[in-house]
Amino acid sequence: MIRFAEEKDAPRISALLRQVLEVHAAIRPDMYRSGTQKYSEKEVVALLKNPDCRIFAETDEADVLRGYCICFAQEVKDDGVIMGRRELYIDDLCVDETARRKGVAKRLFEHVRRYAKEQGFDWITLNVWNGNTGALAFYREMGMTPRRTILERRVD
């Protein structure tokens, strides 16, 4: 079942955020500190109260959270050069390690896509690290395509 996350889900979301961080730390140990996480449990609770944020949760039959998707509504103003649009930005999508490869991410993504359409968003956007090959393949399968590429070079 997919539903809006509730305050009672904050500890579980917090635990899954640690799993996500470890994926990023393995890919980019030069940028991410292992043992940390993007949002604390308290910050997750604050996100649940943020009117521009929606957190979707997939739960099992016992209402145990298997995965979540944190989304932010973003308004791009028409400035004469860039056309205005409404975007739903996927800030984080995570499936518990024990529930992966069982369709949870796909169900969450499709739920977010339907929500975005119902709410009148023009685009769904997100960022993926290049080394996260599993996520890149998944999002391509979901129909996502690159909008832009950020290049980097360490100063030596």
Name the domain count of the chain: 1
Q: Is residue 148 part of a domain?
A: no
Q: Is residue 15 part of a domain?
A: yes
Quick one: pLDDT at residue 40? 94
AA identity, residue 25: A
Structural domain including 21 reads 2-141
What CATH code is carried by the domain that includes residue 24? 3.40.630.30
Q: Compute the mean pLDDT over every residue in the chain, rounded to the nearest whole number.
A: 95
CA dist 114 and 57 (Å) reads 15
Number of Cα atoms under 13 Å in the Cβ half of residue 50? 15
Looking at the chain, the whole-number percentage of residues with pLDDT higher than 90 is: 94
Q: Is residue 122 part of a domain?
A: yes
Q: pLDDT digit string (tens) for 57-112?
A: 999 999 999 999 999 999 999 999 999 999 999 999 999 988 888 999 999 999 99
Q: Is residue 153 part of a domain?
A: no
* Cα dist from 33 to 17, 38, 51, 100, whole Å: 13, 10, 30, 24
Q: Is residue 149 part of a domain?
A: no
Number of Cα atoms under 13 Å in the Cβ half of residue 77? 1
Q: Is residue 118 part of a domain?
A: yes
CB 134 within 8 A of CB 105: no
Q: Is residue 152 part of a domain?
A: no
Global pTM value: 0.93
What are the backbone dihedrals phi and psi of residue 40, each rounded to the nearest 5 degrees, phi first?
-75, 170
CA dist 124 and 73 (Å) reads 10
Q: Is residue 16 part of a domain?
A: yes
